[in-house]
């Protein structure tokens, strides 16, 4: 996952996506949290997960304040060991880890609601949508908004630098 850019760029992209597309039911901060897993020690990544979860809780109408922060924190904690299995330099890492983060978050949210006595009403269309389709869409979001733009930037910067060096050598 070539996300050599600073995590603050990922945070700003996540925030902009949240501001411009609030009606999309994506985990906007998931790619940023995955990048944080690779860039920071576990404790720092957990603090970032709590902060992003609180931000989502403040912007949502859920009556359970802190629910998203707790879920993001647990998902980050569970995915931390997987950093060793998914290498940072692979293109597929960020979308795959984002998909796993989304799936874990959805499962934990369902479990938390069940434990708190809220009826979930599991039926096949909801299971397919929430546990299969939406995690895949979150992974696609990570690929389209984070992985591909950084790859295009790296490719174009190599072309520009190479062209500049050729022109410099001719002159």
Report pLDDT digits (tens) over 147-160. Answer: 888 888 888 888 88
Greater confidence, 53 or 20? 53
| 47-to-31, 50, 53, 69, 110 alpha-carbon distances in Å | 15, 5, 10, 10, 23
Q: How far is CA 65 from the centre of its chain?
A: 21
Can you give the pTM of this predicted structure? 0.85
Is residue 98 over pLDDT 70?
yes
Give the torsion sign (CA, 149, 153, 35, 89).
Answer: positive
Residue 1 has what pLDDT?
Answer: 47
Residue 167 has what pLDDT?
Answer: 66
Report pLDDT digits (tens) over 36-73. Answer: 999 999 999 999 999 999 999 998 877 788 899 999 99
Please name the residues in contact with 131: beta carbons below 8 A apart, sequence gap of 6 or more: 103, 106, 107
Report pLDDT digits (tens) over 100-127. Answer: 999 999 999 999 988 888 877 778 888 8
Alpha helices in 24-147 (DSSP H): 30-39, 42-59, 67-79, 93-115, 124-128, 134-142
Is residue 80 over pLDDT 80?
yes
DSSP 144: I
| Residue 7 contacts residue 52 (beta carbons within 8 Å) | no
């Amino acid at each position: 996952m070539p996300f050599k850019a600073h995590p603050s760029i990922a945070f700003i992209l996540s925030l902009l996506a949240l501001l411009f597309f609030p009606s999309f039911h994506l985990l906007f901060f998931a790619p940023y949290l995955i990048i944080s897993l690779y860039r920071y020690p576990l404790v720092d990544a957990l603090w970032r997960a709590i902060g992003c979860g609180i931000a989502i809780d403040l912007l949502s109408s859920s009556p359970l304040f802190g629910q998203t922060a707790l879920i993001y924190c647990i998902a980050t904690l569970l995915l931390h060991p997987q950093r060793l299995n998914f290498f940072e330099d692979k293109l597929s890492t960020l979308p795959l880890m984002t998909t796993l983060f989304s799936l874990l978050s959805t499962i934990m949210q369902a479990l938390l609601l069940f434990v708190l006595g809220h009826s979930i009403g599991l039926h096949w269309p909801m299971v397919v949508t929430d546990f299969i389709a939406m995690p895949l869409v979150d992974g696609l979001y990570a690929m389209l908004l984070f992985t591909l733009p950084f790859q295009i930037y790296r490719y174009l910067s190599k072309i520009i630098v190479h062209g500049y060096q050729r022109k410099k050598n001719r002159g």
